[in-house]
Structure 1
Amino acid sequence: MPIQCIKKSSDGDTYASELDSQTDSGPYKYVNTAIPIMLQRLRNYGIDPKDLEVKLFGGADMMVTDSENPNPHPVGQSNIHAVLKIIKAQHLTLTVSDVGGHLGRKLLFYTHTGEVLLKRIQSSTELDSPL
């Protein structure tokens, strides 16, 4: 989730892959803890969350085997809903969103401009390919 503060030319990014931090394996791995931590750190630098532009990507259900047997517990959709709930609760401005589906994404985030380039990954061989 790339974020940018236009007023202070500050940027941040988080990649949280799990919904809930019920275990103690690290707060930065989980949606419900990584985003609040990042927002607090930005506040510590004098950045007001209302000045942030949020760009949300990901949440693909990568575990789908076929259309007849979809994943019964789609983690991607759960993460999307959790992030959108946090964005709303924190009164953040969501400016760009490309979420869900069954394809992974590769992002290139230019922190000096806030621009994000996106490539949808069709296969595992594309993970190491350039955008």
Structure 2
Amino acid sequence: MSVAMREVAEMYLAPGEFRFATCPTRLRTILGSCVAITLWHPERRIGGMCHFMLPSRMRCSKALNGMYADEAIELFLRQAKAHHTEPEDYQLKLFGGGEMFPELQRHVPYGDVARMNVNAALEIAALYRLDLIAQDMGSTGHRSIIFDLCSGDVWVRHQPIRTRH
């Protein structure tokens, strides 16, 4: 049966969630300052997406949490191993990191979360030597993301914030 004739499972990721799935599945999320990492294995048509909120946390022996970039990538690596695949065989795409309150940026004492998330995603790609084939990060506003595991396609709808002059 062709993929077009199969029913496609739709899964929504809330902030901090991680999913690994197979075709026919579409993963969706909405991002502001958070970042989505998508990894797709083109031959096996498997992959995953996370919606991370922060680069990292101080971790004792707590379970891995997709809320943090460094832990989300560990979840991906575990899934790659569980599916008898190598991380470098996956295609990486990165999305999000939009500044949600640009007019307040210079008044925020704890830093630019969106920029920290974008930097964390790029550092992870370099550290693990992942094949980064597409990215849409930064700017302002939010993005709606749909990741199709049958084709590896990711559709992005970016709604920038209009600043007042």
TM-score range normalised by the length of the shorter chain: 0.7 to 0.9
Q: What SS is found at the alignment partner of 1:7?
A: coil
Unpaired stretches in structure 2, ≥5 consecutive residues: 1-36
Matched ranges for 1:1-131 at <5 A: 1-22=37-58, 27-65=65-103, 69=106, 71=108, 73-122=111-160
Please say if residues 65 and 71 of structure 1, whose CA atoms lie closer than 8 Å, have aligned partners that are also in contact: no
Give the letter for the 1:76 counterpart.
A
Please say if residues 140 and 160 of structure 2, whose CA atoms lie closer than 8 Å, have aligned partners that are also in contact: no
Task: Output the TM-score relative to the length of structure 2.
Answer: 0.66
Q: Relative to structure 1, is the Cα distance of residues 51 and 100 closer, same or farther in structure 2, using a 3 angstrom cutoff?
A: same
Report the aligned-residue RMSD: 2.1
Shift of 1:26: 6.1
Q: Deviations over 1:60-97 (max 9, x none)?
A: 12132268x46451111111111111111111000000
Larger strand proportion, structure 1 or 2? 2
Q: What SS is found at the alignment partner of 2:140?
A: coil
Q: Deviations over 1:10-45 (max 9, x none)?
A: 121111111212266962111111112222221121
Give the letter for the 2:158 counterpart.
R
Please say if residues 64 and 75 of structure 2, whose CA atoms lie closer than 8 Å, have aligned partners that are also in contact: no
Give the letter for the 1:14 counterpart.
C
CA distance in 1, matches of 2:126, 2:114: 18
CA distance in 1, matches of 2:47, 2:107: 36
Please say if residues 56 and 70 of structure 2, whose CA atoms lie closer than 8 Å, have aligned partners that are also in contact: yes
Where relative contact order (Cα < 8 A, 6+ residues apart) is larger, the structure is 2
